[in-house]
A = this chain, B = another copy of it.
Amino acid sequence: MSGPGVAVAVTMTARRRLKSEDRRRQILDAAVSAFARHGFAGTTTRELARASGVSQAMIFRFFPDKAGLYRAIIDRYIARAADPFPAASTRGGDDRRILERAAADMIGNVEEDPTFLRLLLFSALEGHELSRLFLEARVLAVTRALARYLGGRMRRGALRSVPPIVAARAFIGMAGNYALMNVLYGPAMPGRLPRRRVARLFTSLFLNGITAAEAAAPRVRRPAIGAPGLDRRMASP
């Protein structure tokens, strides 16, 4: 871990003093990984210090307290967010390519580095005050952008007219939930395929489903009393 340090070990202590800014970044990096793995409550400042290779005291030199460090992490993520969907013109209309790419990116990014997703979930579950900002800057930005795009395509008559935000949530839900489950349960999760293939399938399902056409299956609208089916056992004890 620490180079070719062997027997001597006296002058070669190899303990590097970093400039304040570098050290701060190092601690922040280590904290990102720790908080993503164990959450806020499950991470100790001692552990953070050990992971950064410094003493506990350094943590509190750079950050007011543990919560302040967490806040700094979220700030950093928010600051790096950019328009995730830079005005993909709603006229060209190669919907398939755009959606496939969006789905593949979502799945791919989460697969390559689940850190952000885990931080997002932990912050929401643990009720951190910045959780909402986190959501706004990243998740909602994507949702709204996609909704805007879909809405534009609907207005042009290319897609069925449904509430665009809900449609966007449906598509993002497919890809997002797929990625989420893979992150949470890894290989134990059945139905994992190469991400491009999944993206293609989700896109195909979604586009087939939402593309304007007289196809729409006959609207059976029976009262549906006592029907068998996926029962209510999904969430209640």
Q: Which residues of B contact A144 (CB under 8 A)?
A: 190
Which of A46-54, A55-63, A97-105 has 4 or more CB atoms under 8 Å from chain B?
Answer: A97-105
Contact B231 A105 (CB under 8 A): yes
In the bound assembly, the distance between CA atoms of A126 and B146 in angstroms comes to: 32
| Residue of A39, A86, A173, A217 most packed against chain B (CB within 10 A) | A173
Indicate which residue in B184, B230, B237 contacts A115 across the interface (CB closer than 8 Å): B237
Q: Which residues of B contact A173 (CB under 8 A)?
A: 173-178
Contact A166 B188 (CB under 8 A): no
State the oligomeric state as a number of copies. 2
Indicate which residue in B32, B105, B193 contacts A163 across the interface (CB closer than 8 Å): B193
A198 shortest CB reach to chain B, Å: 6
Contact with B along A187-224 (1 / 0, CB 8 A): 01011010000100110111111110101110110101
In the bound assembly, the distance between CA atoms of A161 and B124 in angstroms comes to: 38
Which of A6-14, A15-23, A64-72, A77-85 has 4 or more CB atoms under 8 Å from chain B?
Answer: A77-85
Given A41-B42, A97-B222, A178 contacting B170 (CB threshold 8 A): yes
